[in-house]
Amino acid sequence: MNIELIREHCISKPDVTESFPFDDDTLVFKVNGKIFAMVNLSGDTQLNLKCDPELAIELREKYMAVQPGYHMNKRHWNTIAIDGSIPDALILDWIDHSYNCVCLNKGKRK
């Protein structure tokens, strides 16, 4: 998996924007103004994705490359090391899950 594949998958979804709101190394994808994915462009590639809390725990237990969200709410976010240990199709599914989590929470206050 490479950054360009991640980017193409994210921006192919309806109402998605991309930007660098934090620094020049963190590409952020939003749907309807809410973050659903962030990818680190420097050093080791890491992807932050929103996740259902119960699923987040399951993924962390099953995959060494999945950790609690770095600089994020650890209950709702995972950080995935893009190191080849997780199949690309599974990561793309997790991106879809994150996008859907944000879309389903549209208009709700957290």
Question: What's the CATH number where 57 sits?
Answer: 3.90.1150.30
Confidence band for 70, pLDDT divided at 50, 70 and 90: confident
Instruction: State pTM to two decimals.
Output: 0.91
* Residue 14 is assigned to a structural domain of this protein: yes
Q: Do residues 48 and 38 lie in contact, with contact meaning Cβ atoms separated by under 8 Å?
A: yes
* Residue 109 is assigned to a structural domain of this protein: no
Confidence band for 110, pLDDT divided at 50, 70 and 90: very low
- pLDDT tens figures, 40-66: 988 889 999 999 999 999 999 999 999
Pure H helices in 37-87: 53-62
Q: Is 38 helix (H, G, I), strand (E, B) or coil?
A: strand
Structure-block tokens of residue 63 = 């995959």
Angle between helices 3-11 and 88-104 (to 10 degrees): 40
* Residue 32 is assigned to a structural domain of this protein: yes
User: Residue 108: is its pLDDT beyond 80?
Assistant: no
User: Residue 79: is its pLDDT beyond 70?
Assistant: yes
Cα–Cα distance between 64 and 80 in angstroms, integer? 9
**Average of per-residue pLDDT across 15-39:** 96
**Average of per-residue pLDDT across 86-107:** 90
Q: Is 78 helix (H, G, I), strand (E, B) or coil?
A: strand
* Residue 96 is assigned to a structural domain of this protein: yes
Half-sphere exposure of 94 (CA within 13 A, CB side): 28
* Residue 30 is assigned to a structural domain of this protein: yes
* Residue 110 is assigned to a structural domain of this protein: no
Q: Structurally, how many domains does the chain consist of?
A: 1
Half-sphere exposure of 73 (CA within 13 A, CB side): 9
Q: Is 98 helix (H, G, I), strand (E, B) or coil?
A: helix
Q: Could you tell me the residue range of the domain that residue 75 belongs to? A: 3-104
